Amino acid sequence: MTNSILTLNQVSKRFGAVEALKELSLDVKQGEFLTLLGPSGCGKTTTLRIIAGLELPDSGSVTLQGKDVTNWEPNKRNVNTVFQNYALFPHMDVFHNVAYGLKLKKEKKPVIKQKVEEILNLVQLPGYEKRMPSQLSGGQRQRVAIARALVNNPSVLLLDEPLGALDLQLRRQMQTELKRLQQHLGNTFIYITHDQEEALNMSDRVGVMNAGALEQLGTPDDIYERPATPFAARFIGQSNIFDAVVTGKDGGGTLTLSYAGGTIKAKGEAQPGEVLTLSVRTERVRYEQEDRYGFQLNGIVKSHHYTGGLLRTSLLLSNGDELTVSGMGGGDNRIPTGATVSIQWDPACSIIVERRGTA
């Protein structure tokens, strides 16, 4: 994955008063599984439609395999799209649905037969050629839609929330299948979803989108462990996000900060008096009867919520903030509500997501 296959350069798109994309730049690598992740209205589907040629950008350019395709018609681009609603032809059987694009290219019948059989084997639907879409389950129809898109060997396969209509168990199964297919074929996949689990499970890289812009682009580990903005920290996983004031630093890159009437630690570069917004994942926080890591932060156990293997605890601080702690829970060894506890975490888990000037 060293060569770029697709580049968006400062692409903007407006629909009336709504600015759907704001000078979006994105470089997609050959053979990678890239997911664009974000809430409804963040611009991810508009990005996909511009790549496919279904929308034209107001400004900026789209380069595919070294060629400027910004104004090319959709059928001129070596790109295929899989939609959430499958979009299968109801009057055609599986074979003819999958073969449709090959027939448009005027491939010979023996070639069509061979390619359709090969791709149906890959999506684990051998022997389904004569079945109608109405005779298939939701997962099978989705596999047919994917086969139809892949049989033409597109340079880039675009997937617009293709698993959204499936139940949870089937969706997880299809996540595994999609990643297996992508790795086997070596095609470039660009996947659209608002489901963070899908993004983290399948992707080589994830682009977190918000209000028409990329908040962060990186590997799943980068996105989760090192969120770059408050939005990225809130949207991926569960984080405690709060402001603290730097009161000192040592020579090893450890900061001391004042927060909620106490003292906490963080790793990073900042000056005394600087106000930092920190993100700490809920599973990194610990509460005990004594201080560790140089922390001097107290709180009161407000509540416990047990959700089947996972225990979420809310800790009330002196300034009215609440910190959430999550971890494997159960049994009778919980510190009771109303107890005062010492709160701490590894300073390396304090991620600076914003700098807010000086106090």
Q: Which residues pair with 65 in a beta bridge?
A: none
**Residue for token pair 């590997």:** 219
Structure tokens at 254: 């450890």
| Residue 121 CA: distances (Å) to CA of 117, 126, 147, 305, 309 | 6, 5, 9, 46, 39
pLDDT for residue 330: 62
Let me know: does 36 contact 56? Beta carbons within 8 Å. Answer: no
Q: What is the mean pLDDT of residues 189-205?
A: 93
pLDDT, tens digit (0-9, with 9 covering 90-100), for 287-336: 987 777 789 999 999 999 987 778 899 999 999 999 999 988 765 567 88
HEC string of 118-181 equals HHHHHCCCCCCCCCCHHHCCHHHHHHHHHHHHHCCCCCEEEEECCCCCCCHHHHHHHHHHHHHH
CA distance 274 to 257: 9
Distance CA 195, CA 150 (A): 23
Report the pLDDT value the prediction gives residue 294, as an integer from 0 to 100.
84
143 vs 314, higher pLDDT: 314
How big is the CA angle at 173 (ends 167 and 178), to the nearest 5 degrees? 115
| Residues 109-119 pLDDT 10s | 999 999 999 99
The span from the CA of 178 to the CA of 183, in Å, is 9
Say yes or no to pLDDT of 55 above 80: yes
Residues 344/284, Cβ–Cβ less than 8 Å: no
Contacts of 293 (CB under 8 A, 6+ apart): 265, 344, 345, 346, 347
Q: Which pLDDT value is given to residue 297?
A: 95
Mean pLDDT (the chain) is: 92
Written as six digits, the tokens of 89 are 């032809």
Complete DSSP assignment for 221-279: HHHHHS-SSHHHHHHSS-EEEEEEEEEEE-TTSEEEEEETTEEEEEES---TTEEEEEE
The mean pLDDT of 51-63, rounded to a whole number, is: 96
Task: Give strand pairing partners of 324.
Answer: 314
Query: What is the CA angle 264-267-269, rounded to 5?
Result: 110
Quote the percentage of the chain above a pLDDT of 90: 75
- Give 285's DSSP letter: -
Check if the beta carbon of residue 25 is closer than 8 Å to that of residue 8.
yes
**pLDDT band, residue 128 (cuts 50/70/90):** very high
Q: Are 312 and 326 in contact (CB under 8 A)?
A: yes
CA of 151: how far to CAs of 25, 42, 115, 145, 349, in Å? Answer: 29, 31, 7, 10, 45
pTM of this structure: 0.88
Neighbours of 256 (CB within 10 A): 20
- Output the DSSP codes for 254-269: EEEEEETTEEEEEES-
For helices 138-150 and 94-104, give the axis angle rounded to 10 degrees. Answer: 20
Q: Is the pLDDT of residue 340 over 90?
A: yes
pLDDT, tens digit (0-9, with 9 covering 90-100), for 213-264: 999 999 999 999 999 999 999 999 899 999 999 999 987 889 999 999 999 9
Q: How many Cβ atoms sit within 10 Å of the Cβ of residue 253?
A: 12
Evaluate if residue 69 carries a pLDDT over 70.
yes
Say if residues 343 and 286 touch (Cβ distance below 8 Å).
Answer: yes
Q: What pLDDT score was predicted for residue 1?
A: 44
Q: What is the DSSP letter of 292?
A: -
Q: What distance in Å separates the CA atoms of residue 277 and residue 288, rounded to the nearest whole number? A: 24
Q: Which residues contact 106 (CB under 8 A, 6 or more apart)?
A: none
